[in-house]
Chain A
Amino acid sequence: MINLFKVKAKQKEIAENANGKAPVKKQTAGELRLHKDISELNLPKTCTISFPNGKDDLMNFEVTIRPDEGYYCGGTFVFTFQVSSIYPHEAPKVKCKTKVYHPNIDLEGNVCLNILREDWKPVLNINTIIYGLFHLFTQPNYEDPLNHDAAAVLRDNPRMFESNVRRAMAGGYVGNTFFPRCM
Chain B
Amino acid sequence: MAGSTLQASRSRDLDKLLLRPGNLVEPNFEPGPELRDDLREYARVLVVGAGGLGCELLKDLALSGFKNLDVIDMDRIEVTNLNRQFLFRLEDVGKPKAEVAAKRVMERVSGVNIVPHFCRIEDKELDFYSDFNIIVLGLDSIEARSYINAVACSFLEYDSDDNPREETMKPMVDGGTEGFKGHARVIKPGVTPCFECTIWLFPPQVKFPLCTLAETPRTAAHCIEYAHLIKWDEVHSGKSFDPDDPGHMQWVYSEAVKRADLFGIPGVTYSLTQGVVKNIIPAIASTNAIISAACALETLKIATGCSKTLSNYLTYNGVEGLHIKVTEFVRDKDCLVCGPGVLIELDISVTLQKFINMLEEHPRLLLSKASVTHRGKNLYMQAPPVLEEMTRSNLDQLLFDLMGKVPRDVIHVTGMSRKDDKKVSSLMKLRVAFKGVDGVVDMDMAGGALFHRLTDLVETQWWDMTPEL
Give the CA-CA distance A54 to B386 in the complex, in Å.
Answer: 10
By beta carbon, the residue of chain B nearest A108 is B233
**B residues 182-234 touching A (CB-CB < 8 Å):** 196, 199-200, 202, 204-205, 207-211, 214-215, 229-230, 233-234
Judged by a CB distance under 8 angstroms, whether B382 is at the interface is yes
- B147 contact set on A, CB distance < 8 A: 26, 28, 85
Q: How far is the CA of A28 from the CA of B425 in the complex (A)?
A: 20
Other-chain residue from A6, A18, A20, A148 in contact with B127 (beta carbon distance below 8 A): A18
> Is the beta-carbon distance between B383 and A38 smaller than 8 angstroms?
yes
Interface string of B416-433 (1 = CB under 8 A from A): 000000000101000000
Closest to A141 in B: B211
A1-18 residues with Cβ-Cβ distance < 8 A to B are 1-8, 10-11, 14-15, 17-18
Q: Is the CB of B303 within 8 A of A49?
A: no
* B255 interfacial contact with A, CB 8 Å: no
Q: Which B residues are CB-close (under 8 A) to A129? A: none
Considering the complex, give the chain A residue whose CB is closest to the CB of B206: A118
Which residues of A47-98 are within 8 A (CB) of B? 48-51, 54-56, 58, 84-86, 89-91
Contact string against A for B residues 34-50, beta-carbon threshold 8 Å, 1 for contact and 0 otherwise: 00001101110000000
Q: Are B143 and A108 in contact (CB under 8 A)?
A: no
- Choose the segment among B149-157, B270-278, B287-295, B320-328 that binds chain A (4+ C-beta atoms closer than 8 Å): B149-157
Given A40-B425, A56-B378, decide whether A4 and B303 contact each other with a Cβ distance below 8 A: yes
Cβ-neighbour of A14 out of B130, B150, B412 (below 8 A): B130
Q: Which of B151, B233, B373, B386 contacts A32 (CB 8 A)?
A: B373
**Shortest CB–CB separation between residue A24 and chain B, in angstroms?**
6
Bound: A149/B239 CA distance, A: 26
Given contacts A4-B303, A35-B373, contact A112 B42 (CB under 8 A): no
Of the candidates B28, B210, B306, B375, the one whose C-beta lies within 8 Å of that of A110 is B210
The reply to whether the CB of A117 lies closer than 8 angstroms to some CB of chain B is yes
Find A38's partner among B43, B171, B387 (CB 8 Å cutoff).
B387
CB-based contact A39/B414 at 8 Å: yes
Q: Are A11 and B131 in contact (CB under 8 A)?
A: yes
Q: Does B245 contact A (CB under 8 A)?
A: no
Contact indicator B42/A5 (Cβ below 8 Å) = yes
Q: Is B160 an interface residue (CB 8 A)?
A: no
Q: Which of A38, A86, A122 contacts B381 (CB 8 A)?
A: A38
**A8 proximity list for chain B (CB < 8 A):** 42
- Asked if B209 contacts A144 (CB within 8 A), the reply is yes
Q: Is the CB of A2 within 8 A of B133?
A: yes
**Bound Cα distance A11, B166 (Å):** 11
Q: B448 contacts the other chain (Cβ, under 8 Å)?
A: no
Distance in Å from the Cβ of A161 to the closest Cβ of chain B?
17
Cross-chain contact of A31 among B26, B39, B376, B406 (Cβ < 8 A): B376
Least distance between B250 CB and chain A CB atoms (Å):
21
Give the nearest-CB partner of B386 in chain A. A50
Q: Which residues of A contact B371 (CB under 8 A)?
A: 35, 39
B113 to chain A, nearest CB (A): 17
Bound state CA distance, A6 and B169, in angstroms? Answer: 12
Q: Are A7 and B143 in contact (CB under 8 A)?
A: no
A89: contacting residue among B38, B202, B302, B376, CB under 8 A: B202
Shortest Cβ distance from A47 into B: residue: B384
CA distance in complex: A117, B303 (Å): 43
Let me know if B457 is at the binding interface, CB within 8 A.
no
In the complex, the chain A residue whose C-beta lies closest to that of B25 is: A1
B163 to chain A, nearest CB (A): 16
Inter-chain contact A117/B376, CB cutoff 8 Å: no
Chain A residue nearest to B302 in the complex (CB): A2
Cβ contact within 8 Å between B211 and A146: yes
Given the complex, which residues of B lie within 8 Å of A42, measured CB to CB?
Answer: 383
Point out the residues of chain A lying under 8 angstroms from B439, CB to CB: 17
Q: Which residue of B lies closest to A114 (CB)?
A: B209
Q: Which of B131-157 contact A (CB under 8 A)?
A: 131, 133-134, 142-143, 146-147, 150-151, 154-155
Instruction: Indicate if A145 sits at the interface (CB-CB under 8 A).
Output: yes
A22 — which chain B residues lie within 8 A by C-beta? 404-406
List the B residue with the shortest CB-CB distance to A54.
B390
Taking the closest CB of chain B, its distance from the CB of A30, in whole angstroms, is 7
Q: Specify which of B302, B391, B425 is in contact with A1 (CB 8 Å cutoff).
A: B302
A10–B211 alpha-carbon span in the complex (Å): 57
Interface check B456, CB cutoff 8 A = no
B207 touches A11 (CB 8 A): no
Confirm or deny: B336 has a beta carbon within 8 angstroms of a beta carbon on chain A: yes
Alpha-carbon gap, A30 to B377, bound state (A): 14
Q: What residues of chain A lie closer than 8 Å to B200, measured between beta carbons?
A: 122
Residue pair B303, A2 in contact (C-beta under 8 Å)? yes
* Residue in A15, A25, A36, A107 with the greatest tally of chain B CB atoms within 10 Å: A36
Shortest C-beta distance, A117 to chain B (Å), equals 4
Verify B383–A41 contact, CB threshold 8 A: yes
**How long is the Cα–Cα vector from A35 to B377 in the complex, in angstroms?**
10
27 A-B pairs with CB atoms under 8 Å apart are A2-B133, A2-B303, A2-B305, A4-B39, A4-B133, A5-B42, A14-B130, A17-B439, A21-B406, A22-B406, A25-B377, A28-B146, A28-B150, A29-B146, A29-B150, A30-B146, A33-B427, A35-B414, A36-B427, A38-B387, A50-B386, A86-B143, A106-B230, A122-B200, A146-B210, A146-B211, A146-B230
**Measuring CB to CB, which residues of chain B are less than 8 angstroms from any residue of chain A?**
26, 28-30, 38-39, 41-43, 126-127, 130-131, 133-134, 142-143, 146-147, 150-151, 154-155, 167-168, 171, 196, 199-200, 202, 204-205, 207-211, 214-215, 229-230, 233-234, 237, 302-306, 336-337, 371, 373, 375-378, 381-384, 386-387, 390-391, 404-406, 409, 412, 414-415, 425, 427, 439
Given A4-B39, A4-B43, A30-B146; 20 other pairs, CB 8 A cutoff: A4-B41, A5-B38, A6-B167, A10-B168, A15-B127, A22-B405, A24-B375, A29-B337, A32-B373, A38-B384, A39-B381, A43-B384, A56-B376, A56-B377, A85-B143, A86-B142, A91-B207, A109-B233, A120-B207, A144-B211
